[in-house]
Amino acid sequence: MSTHFEKVKEFVTELEYEIVSEDTAEELIVVDKEEDSIKNLIIDCEDDILIIESFLFEVSSTTKEMLEWLLKTNREIIYGAFVLDNEGKKVIFRDTLALENLDINELEGSLNSLQLLLAEHMNKLLEFSKQ
């Protein structure tokens, strides 16, 4: 287990996220902070990169309106972005950070960005999830 993984776990705990599952071999944790609408957030140490992903909703069919809104809203997101999975069926929030110099403020900024995104755009995300 790398020191990066241990450091990330310490930061997450300090930021009051609950670690709901952990895969030490993959250096991956899943966290919740339900009061901030964060559920099953994946935090994955991959070599020298920290990957943060949160599944937002499944797409039954993409529409021009939805894709345009996602791209325009990406411009507003402080850290991270909306992405589609490889099959184009899931909308995910994703951010990547360098592990080498990662500090708690940088991780907190990324997590706060997701929290703000959910708070500001939950109604639109719910609307798209029902299409």
The domain 3-129 is placed in CATH, from the list 3.30.70.270, 3.40.50.300, 3.40.50.150, 3.30.1460.10, at: 3.30.1460.10
Reported as a single tens digit per residue, the pLDDT across 102-111 is: 999 999 999 9
Task: List the chain domain ranges.
Answer: 3-129
Write down the pLDDT at residue 60: 85
Query: Residue 2: its pLDDT value, please?
Result: 74
Q: pLDDT-derived band of residue 22, with 50, 70 and 90 as boundaries?
A: very high
Q: What mean pLDDT do residues 69-86 have?
A: 95
Distance from the Cα of residue 2 to its chain's centroid:
22
72 pLDDT exceeds 80? yes
